[in-house]
Structure 1
Amino acid sequence: MTSLLLLAASSTACAVWLWTGPTVAATRLHRLTSTSRVFDWRSPRRLLTRSTPARRADAWRHASIELCHALSAELSAGRTPGEALTKALAAVELPDPEAAKPILAAARDGGDVAAALLSAAPQQGGEGLRRLAACWQVGVTAGAGLSALVERVAMTSRAAQAHRQDVAAQLAGPRATASMLAALPVLGLLMAGALNMRPLGFLFGSLPGAACLLSGVALDACGLWWTNRMAARAQPPG
């Protein structure tokens, strides 16, 4: 009886916390407007659920935006394209410092900067560098204003990144709900065990129980897979 009361109290506390806790929009707004680094209650979950390639892709996108802004500022100051790119690369920290060496060499020696940018751009998160390479090629061959083109690339990349973050914030709620619903069968087993119903003996000790266990696990896995698939399709490409 005591274990049942403790389980009910903990379930009630979790429900109250989920109901009264901060929303996704409020948490994201506080993170954007706060000047101090505070602990984010979603950080452990984000570190567990978000893959390393996704974090590297975001880092490359942010670095590309900063590189475009720095390059545009150097070009507006009257520097040549090679000098401007050299100083912009020195001011921006790329996720892979080794990738900047061929670009620096091409900018200093008058080489093919567009090809160096394309080779340095990763498959995921390198959209900004590929756009910058296209702008560089147009500016060199057609003589167009490179500063205006680079600034336009920076604005487009920043808008795309903001849209991607908004979509991810909107999908955080459904993903959390799906994960919580997937964990409810475990809570049901704990409650049944607290009532001395011996659910594990039924599930693992009889043929109908094994069938119920396999069906439940399969349906639970299919639900998680379908939720993640819908969330992935809702996110913008790239």
Structure 2
Amino acid sequence: MTAALLLVAVAALLWPGGAALRRRRLRRLTRGHRPPGRPALPPPAWPALAGAAAGAGGLLVSTPLVAALAAAVAGAGVRALLRQREGRRDEERLDALADALAALAAELRSGRPLEAATASAVTVCADDGSGAALARALRAPGSGAEALGTDLDRALTRVAAAVRLSERTGCSLAAVVGAVEDDLRARRRQRLELRSATAGPRASAALLAGLPLLGLAMGSGIGADPWAVLTTTVAGQVLLVLGVALEAAGLSWSARLVRRALR
């Protein structure tokens, strides 16, 4: 039991939450300059690390079958958390790009040249990557490096096309940049409304996912010991694997429905 608690403590220390959050806040304050030292663990390694820790803990406290299931569930859970974090990061990039486009449009309307307006917009942008991509789209609109398929890339593609059109015909670049900014902010408001509308189904899915654990706790409370039945008997192990598979399929399907609604 002591070894299992130790493994849980180590997994909690390695979990990409507190330390990673502090490092991320520090990078925001220092504008993305990482101090020299050992590089951070890449995100793809976290599911494997969480799966190994959960599998080792399950092997110490229960059967190899439980260890394998725990490793699979932990890896999938961490992968889902990383996907959610990347989604939030994409939204932050879009917000930073919208602010930079607003500054760019204001600078262009005031009569400043494109190079000076680009430098001001990059300075205003809160995300270094989005600022650099905007500068490339404005200074080298014919490179095509911005057309990658995401919302950020599509917005940069429109900006690059507006720069090319302005160079050929002399039309106002500020109006197109302002339209792109308005579109980004409208999409942001739409995503927030859809997220609010899907909050109920997401909460229901989370509640239903926790019901099997509640059933195990209630069975243990009345002395039935369902965990021993599920881990020591052949029929129980088959039911355990089937239940975990159905649980994972249900969560995956509900998450897919929510993602499709948010698009």
Query: Does the Cα contact within 8 Å between 2:134 and 2:156 map onto a contact in 1?
Result: no
Are 1:198 and 2:213 counterparts? Answer: no
Alignment match, 2:52: none
Are 1:228 and 2:261 counterparts? Answer: no
Alpha-carbon displacement from aligned partner over 1:147-205 (angstroms, at most 9, x marks no partner): 11111111111111211222223223312221221111011100100100111122122
3-state DSSP class of the match of 2:198? helix
3-state DSSP class of the match of 1:93? coil
Query: Does the Cα contact within 8 Å between 2:100 and 2:125 map onto a contact in 1?
Result: yes
Alignment match, 1:73: 106
Give runs of ≥4 in structure 1 deviating > 6 Å: none
Which residues in structure 2 correspond to 1:112-131 (within 5 Å)?
112-115=139-142, 119=145, 124=150, 125-131=152-158
Deviation at 1:226, TM superposition (A): 0.8
Distance in 2 between residues matched to 1:197 and 1:210, nearest whole Å: 16
Which residues in structure 2 correspond to 1:167-178 (within 5 Å)?
167-178=194-205
Alignment match, 2:213: 186
Greater alpha carbon shift after TM alignment, 159-168 vs 190-199: 159-168
Change in 2 beyond 3 A, CA 1:207/1:101: closer
Q: How many residues align?
A: 183
Change in 2 beyond 3 A, CA 1:90/1:49: closer
Query: Does the Cα contact within 8 Å between 1:61 and 1:128 map onto a contact in 2?
Result: no
Cα RMSD, aligned residues only: 2.6
Query: Does the Cα contact within 8 Å between 1:204 and 1:210 map onto a contact in 2?
Result: yes
3-state DSSP class of the match of 2:223? coil
Q: Which runs of 5+ in 1 are unaligned?
A: 1-46
Greater alpha carbon shift after TM alignment, 72-81 vs 209-218: 209-218
Alignment match, 1:146: 173
Matched-pair identity in %: 32
Q: 1:103 aligns with which of 132, 135, 141?
A: 135
Given the two structures, how large is their TM-score scaled by the length of structure 2? 0.62
Are 1:62 and 2:95 counterparts? Answer: yes
Greater alpha carbon shift after TM alignment, 185-194 vs 158-167: 158-167
Q: 2:244 aligns with which of 208, 217, 221?
A: 217
Distance in 2 between residues matched to 1:93 and 1:141, nearest whole Å: 31
AA of the residue aligned to 2:95: H
- Higher relative contact order (CA closer than 8 Å, sequence separation 6+): 1
Greater alpha carbon shift after TM alignment, 186-195 vs 119-128: 119-128
Alpha-carbon displacement from aligned partner over 1:65-104 (angstroms, at most 9, x marks no partner): 111111110011111222222222222222427x628937
Given the two structures, how large is their TM-score scaled by the length of structure 1? 0.67
Query: Does the Cα contact within 8 Å between 1:65 and 1:158 map onto a contact in 2?
Result: yes
